[in-house]
């Protein structure tokens, strides 16, 4: 009986005192949700838009490279990439597209578009936008199939 009473007192004492470590974060820890899938599906996303050189010179050719990644859990099918460059007025000054017949494995990143022949005649601010269109497969997230980047031409 004495042991039972002692265990009850110790239990109440532990319950009344907070013994969490002082360095632990409060609240819930954020969870990674970008990999949550309702079904096993591919997910192609635009992972990078690269301009070489970083600040092109008006009248001289520069390079544009687009990379895509499959963040899904199964391989992709074929997909098309459309690249559009617009001036500060919103007019398209360059447009090109390419179809890809090569699949991307889960987690794989691949070069989706590359050119070294873009030439803009006027200095100013431009925007390059990229659209990825899945062909022959359903992409689990259409939101990450578009990306854009602004850059300056001197």
Contacts of 30 (CB under 8 A, 6+ apart): none
Asked if the structure places residue 13 within a domain, the reply is: no
Which pLDDT does position 123 carry in this prediction?
A: 96
CATH number of the domain that residue 75 is part of: 2.60.40.2360
Q: Which residue segment(s) compose the domain that 138 sits in? A: 44-153
CA angle in degrees (0–180, nearest 5) for 102-99-96: 140
Asked if the structure places residue 108 within a domain, the reply is: yes
Residue 23 has pLDDT above 50, yes or no: no
Question: Using one digit for the tens of pLDDT, what is the confidence trace for 40-87?
Answer: 788 889 999 999 999 999 999 999 999 999 988 888 888 999 999 999
d(CA 42, CA 147): 18
Q: Name the domain count of the chain.
A: 1
Question: Using one digit for the tens of pLDDT, what is the confidence trace for 84-135?
Answer: 999 999 999 999 988 876 788 998 999 999 999 999 999 999 999 999 988 8
List phi, psi (to 5°) of 3: -65, -40
Which pLDDT does position 144 carry in this prediction?
A: 84
Asked if the structure places residue 17 within a domain, the reply is: no
* pTM for the whole structure: 0.70
Residue 147 has pLDDT above 60, yes or no: yes
d(CA 141, CA 68): 14
Asked if the structure places residue 18 within a domain, the reply is: no
Asked if the structure places residue 20 within a domain, the reply is: no
Asked if the structure places residue 11 within a domain, the reply is: no
Q: What is the mean pLDDT of residues 10-28?
A: 51
């Amino acid at each position: 009986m004495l042991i039972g009473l002692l265990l009850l007192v110790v239990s109440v004492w532990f319950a009344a005192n907070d013994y969490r470590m002082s360095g632990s974060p409060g609240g819930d820890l954020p969870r990674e949700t970008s990999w949550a899938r309702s079904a096993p599906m591919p997910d192609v996303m635009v992972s990078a838009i690269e301009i070489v050189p970083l600040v092109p010179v008006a009248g001289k050719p520069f390079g544009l490279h687009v990379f895509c990644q499959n963040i899904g859990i199964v391989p992709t099918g074929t997909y098309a990439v459309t690249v559009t460059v617009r001036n500060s007025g919103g007019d398209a000054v360059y447009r090109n597209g390419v179809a890809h017949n090569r699949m991307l494995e889960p987690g794989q990143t691949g070069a989706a578009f590359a050119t070294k022949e873009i030439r803009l005649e006027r200095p100013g601010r431009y925007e390059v936008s990229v659209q990825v269109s899945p062909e022959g497969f359903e992409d689990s997230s259409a939101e990450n199939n578009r990306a854009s980047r602004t850059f300056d031409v001197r």
